[in-house]
A and B are shown apart, each in its own frame.
Chain A
Amino acid sequence: MLFTSLSFGGLLAVTVVAVKLAPARARRWILLLASWVFYAGWEPKWLLLLWISTAVDYAAGRLLEREQRAPWRKALLFGSLGVNLGILFFYKYWDFALALVGLHDWGEVAARQSFHVYGDIPPGLSFYTFQTLSYTIDVYRRKHPAVKSPVDFALYVAFFPQLIAGPILRASEFFPQLAAPPPPSAARTWAAIELFAVGLFKKVVVADNLGLLVDPIYADTSASSGIALALGALLFWGQVYADFSGYSTMARGLGKLFGVDLPRNFDFPLLATGPLEYRRSWHMTMSAWFRDYVFHPLGGMRAGPWRVALNIMIVWTLFGVWHGAGFTFAAWGLYNGVIQAATREWYRRFGAPPDFFGKPVAGWALNIGLMLPSAVVFRSASLAQAGVAYERILTFAGGASLPWAGVIALVGLGAVHLWAKLRYDEDRLAHLGWPARIALLTGLTWLVVLFGAQTRPFVYFQF
């Protein structure tokens, strides 16, 4: 059930009315039921996996809190990790692993690696698995108490605004808000509506239209010119950003509507002035997850320079493979790991570059240049296709004529992005008078209706 579907609109309307009319103690039940209905909207059978994950981690949390013996606690932790990662591995990587050892048809698996294939993987599996893992690890580390109410815990796992594609919530962010929701106010509701509307605009108008430009370019890499492929890669990264951040923004709006402030997932990453800032501003909740549960346990920044570089590359490769079982995703992660490790080493040896006129613009251009190869490999269906794209880009194959629609889209995207960073506040509607509110909402509605392309599934739903 997509946020942009009429069926979701119906579910949302019913949930809003029910939450509004029901007594406070029934609110969690209603939200939980709505979340399960929302998830069943894709394929009811996947609810079973969600329930297994919920039951296992609820039980693990309760047992971990009671158990004092270290070996037993460790066994409980690894038991929970085993079940969750086992399910994740089976649905996302099993065929790939079989193909690697020659027990599965490679062609079939390779076809599934393509980023736009949306097949037999339970929607949002990686997101809710990582969320429940963070809970169990936090209880194991005694950073968070085990949750007593199974309803509260089930709602934490399945809370529909962020169930399918994050932001990944920590227990410490969710349960205090559930226990003491903020009082309803007009300003808060306006902010929620604005977030949802802006997110919808990003998804339906920006991302889906960019997809229309990118798809023909990458449909046959060998027929597209090098310049078109390079431009297409940049547009694609804009598409992924608008798609994913659009979803996250809608999720934050919906969360706010039901009294839960979800964390931001993006902080204008396409305007980052260097690789480190880019890393900090892209998919922030997932980056934080990898930092806390993988990078730090590996030794983090405390080890020697080579070990730190290795840790960074391990984390980024895992981050890449988290997107799916495919060499393209692994290559994307490894490449970004190398960039991050090299940048850190540069800073360690030489310090930050001195200030000069135009430094932010130069840093931004450098970052875009470094990002380009990773966007090509992420968009390509295979490493071979990425290889063809690189070759054509580097040799300026197919001439130097510019696909102007793409150029205009890119400039427009950049201009709006920059304007939003410099001028836009997320609670603007709350501070406007009625005429301006009506004008803004009317404008957004028209933009979505008139210029929204045919809706595609959210890119990140498949991860």
Chain B
Amino acid sequence: MHGRTLAAASSVVIGALLLPSLVLERHPAVWDWLASFRPGTFQAAEGALRASPHREREVVVLGSSVAVIDVIDPALAAMLDRPVLSAGVMAAPVCATAMFTPALEARRPETVLLVVGMRDLDRCRPNPGRLAFDPEIAWHAIGAWRLASDDTWLAAALGGASTLVRHRAAVRMIGHPAGPGWRLHPRYTGRIDDDGLAGQLDWHAPRLRDATLDGDGPSRRAFARMSARLRAIGAEAILVPAPLHPRLVASTGGGAGTSWHPAHLRRVAEIARDTGARHLGAAELGEYPPEDFADPTHLTASGQRRFTAALGRALR
């Protein structure tokens, strides 16, 4: 092989990714355009964070599907009498959500509510079932870089590179079965039947060990940095574990047949304490009966109302 030719071609490909998207990302119209995507996508979340004007006493809700589905942002805004911006992203672990930190710093909200699913604080890798060349890998890399680096130019360039990738993923996310209007989707309007629940619990069983959050992980490190940077701008970070189906809570897991859930809650509280974030637990949020769940980890419409009301009370 001819080394110089290979280096030249690699440079062209990297340049193709970086330079044009750097220009795009610095153009304000891009954020309006991105904000027009479906809720629950990275595009919409970052677009909304950057495009809409700053609002006093704003609450920004971040997290994965549990933030997108379980928290009804207009209802929360009405209860708190404060503006609420939902910037949750379906299937995004905290390390990916952390890529919004620069946008949050620019926006300066008063409160950042991070609703975490049972594995969101641990998981920071592409889903193996989705195989490779997944844009989430790029997101994770960009998110990690943005947090790790204060080099604005490089971070913006890498962020710009991801704009093209993000657009591509938006198309995929819009094709998600939960499609438009997440909360109105039939999947989230009724209680899950016993057969469906049993199947999903089987799916979750081997993954419960991850939810006990043993050891350090990129999502936890990302949250620590994000929390510190939010504190620096005077914003309060609040960590909220999402409600889980009672049968999932009762499952044994986490190794050696021990119950996983107390360990999970304890670790989430420890992470909040260690990172200087506020923590809302079962005492503030209450417990949720089986009929409130559309699946083991997501709420039905009634559950969403109950959870949002509990959040509102806790924040007031």
Contact = CB atoms under 8 A, between A and B. Distances in A.
A264 B307 CA distance: 60
Interface stretch (B35-43, B163-171, B211-219, B223-231): B163-171
A446 B134 contact: no
Contacts of A33: none
A441 B167 contact: no
Interface in B170-220: 172, 175
Contact of B133 (A204, A259, A437, A446): A204
A385 to B, nearest CB: 22
B15 interface: yes
A189 B5 contact: yes
Q: Interface majority SS on B: helix, strand, loop or mixed? A: helix
Interface in B1-33: 1-6, 9, 12-13, 15-17
A437 B8 CA distance: 10
A111 interface: no
B6 A189 contact: yes
A193 B130 contact: no
Q: How large is the interface on B (under 10, 10 to 19, 20 to 34, 35 or more residues)?
A: 20 to 34
Given A16-B6, A193-B6, A193-B9, A442 B16 contact: yes
A420 B15 CA distance: 27
A441 B164 contact: no
A449 B164 contact: yes
Contacts, number: 82
B6 A5 contact: no
Given A16-B1, A19-B1, A186-B5, A441 B16 contact: yes
Interface string A422-447: 00000000000000011001100110
Contacts of A455: 131-134
A68 interface: no
Given A2-B131, A5-B131, A456-B131, A451 B2 contact: no
A1 B6 CA distance: 22
B133 A192 contact: no
B137 interface: yes
Contact of B168 (A185, A192, A451): A451
A20 B133 contact: no
Taking each of A19, A190, A193, A453, which has the highest tally of chain B beta carbons within 10 Å of its own beta carbon? A193
A454 B12 contact: no
Given A454-B134, A457-B131, A446 B1 contact: no
Contacts of B2: 184-186, 188-189
A445 B1 contact: no
A220 to B, nearest CB: 15
Contacts of B4: 186
Nearest to B13: A445
A445 B16 contact: yes
Contacts of B12: 437-438, 441-442, 445
Contacts of A445: 12-13, 16-17
B168 A190 contact: no
A442 B131 CA distance: 25
Interface of B: 1-6, 9, 12-13, 15-17, 130-134, 137, 164-165, 167-168, 172, 175
Nearest 10 CB-CB pairs, A to B?
A: A5-B132, A442-B16, A445-B16, A189-B2, A189-B5, A4-B133, A455-B133, A441-B12, A186-B5, A186-B2
Given A7-B132, A437-B12, A441-B16, 18 more contacts: A6-B132, A6-B133, A20-B3, A184-B3, A188-B1, A189-B5, A192-B1, A193-B5, A193-B6, A437-B9, A441-B9, A441-B12, A442-B16, A449-B168, A453-B172, A454-B130, A454-B134, A455-B131
24 contacts: A2-B131, A5-B131, A5-B132, A16-B6, A19-B1, A184-B1, A184-B3, A186-B5, A189-B1, A190-B5, A192-B1, A193-B6, A257-B1, A258-B1, A437-B12, A438-B12, A438-B15, A442-B12, A445-B16, A449-B168, A452-B133, A452-B168, A453-B172, A455-B131
